[in-house]
Structure 1
């Protein structure tokens, strides 16, 4: 696949790595990044050799969530977060996906990683569900997947407070994911991918389908509820002011 900001390549037999590498925009959901992500998972779906996917970023950034332009478009009623349905790509992927979140994961960028089957965090990086910092309620399935993956108490705290948490902080809070030094994240992901690639592809697909079916079935209802909350919260003048101010800083 040829896309300047998303690289998709088979790094070993049966293992595909998707790398988000928009250095100019720090892996925010630009049109190019969104299109590249969708194309990457379409390519994976057509690859009958693929048994495991590693989703990662570059340097200090995994994925930084929405752009100012994208958020303002939603505020003004010119778009919805469902227009670019990238948040559930890992969930809908037939084979297991490992989110190697070696760098900062912000807002929807963190949510994208949590929809993977396996999550690996970096001790140095910042993880945040920053939606409420802008004054609007969370979307992209965050209200479901964050408490489900992190536990209700910590998930509620992250969603409500919109605070920043280092991977080391989350490790102390007992998150059920490996939290390792940034330099070790990819090695850990590759070890896991190799273990998965040893298994028969049909068995991996069948087991994943069974395990994540409740999430796939529940998610559309959650998205409807989040959209309804956005109608109440996203179009307030204060939200526009917060978006402009926070991106300006």
Structure 2
């Protein structure tokens, strides 16, 4: 497995998936994407796991696409869909057992989309959450146009997507997000307590109920991705996008 992602079992039946690419601040490097794919495959296949908690390190949950990858898409060399590799952003949704996103740190762009594809979500009051696609001039991807309204509501989800604004967790709590928003130190312990509660249930029942609850979202997602990619064909290749990526990325 990639060193960027580790798998442990802190409590019986609970898989703890930790993203810890400190050099790249948990951006979607090849190492992080491959590591996540391998770990989630193991979690789904191992009958002893009844649930999974996905988290990051320190003040970073997941920082989304790298600038090099985004510039490559802008130049027409790639899309955010990678051939012969699982869609990293939807791994929490595709995992057969329930997944809890313990977003103790900043979650940016595709990193926030991935976190919202989990079944349960815990946010940090101090951390930054943003769908910053439009900050760089291109329309959102990573299934965000479907999952943001689904999990945050039409008004708030649309605001994040349209404006590219940055929100602290405390501000999202004031806006009424339907998730716990806690001090950073409490995010992972709370998620693990939720996971321990889930792990008391039979795995078969958890798998069947998750499949039922996510059926509509899973059915609609491929069509949404096609529409996002079609918008990218128009919006990503504008010269302003390259300029904004060069001047604003990471700010």
With the shorter chain as reference, the TM-score category is: over 0.9
Looking at structure 2, the residues matched to 72 and 39 of structure 1 have their Cα atoms a distance apart, in angstroms, of 26
Q: Deviations over 1:75-125 (max 9, x none)?
A: 111111111510110101000000000000000000000000000000000
Looking at structure 1, the residues matched to 221 and 250 of structure 2 have their Cα atoms a distance apart, in angstroms, of 33
Which residues in structure 2 correspond to 1:109-120 (within 5 Å)? 109-120=111-122
Q: Which residue of 2 aligns with 1:223?
A: 225
Q: Which runs of 5+ in 1 are unaligned?
A: none
1:248 CA drift (Å): 6.6
1:234 equivalenced with 2:236 (yes/no): yes
Looking at structure 2, the residues matched to 17 and 248 of structure 1 have their Cα atoms a distance apart, in angstroms, of 28
1:81 equivalenced with 2:80 (yes/no): yes
Q: Which residue of 2 aligns with 1:41?
A: 40
Looking at structure 1, the residues matched to 52 and 139 of structure 2 have their Cα atoms a distance apart, in angstroms, of 31
Q: Which residue of 2 aligns with 1:22?
A: 21
Looking at structure 1, the residues matched to 207 and 3 of structure 2 have their Cα atoms a distance apart, in angstroms, of 30
- TM-aligned CA distance change 1:237 to 1:99, over 3 Å: same
Q: Deviations over 1:103-149 (max 9, x none)?
A: 00000000000000000000000000000001000001000100110
Which residues in structure 2 correspond to 1:75-224 (within 5 Å)? 75-83=74-82, 85-224=87-226
Q: Which residue of 2 aligns with 1:4?
A: 3
Moved over 6 A (4+): none
Q: RMSD over aligned Cα, in angstroms?
A: 0.9
Structure 1-normalised TM-score? 0.98
User: Aligned pairs, how many?
Assistant: 248
1:81 aligns to what SS in structure 2?
A: coil
1:247 CA drift (Å): 2.6
1:5 CA drift (Å): 1.0
Looking at structure 1, the residues matched to 151 and 245 of structure 2 have their Cα atoms a distance apart, in angstroms, of 28
- TM-aligned CA distance change 1:193 to 1:248, over 3 Å: closer
Looking at structure 1, the residues matched to 46 and 137 of structure 2 have their Cα atoms a distance apart, in angstroms, of 41
1:3 CA drift (Å): 2.3
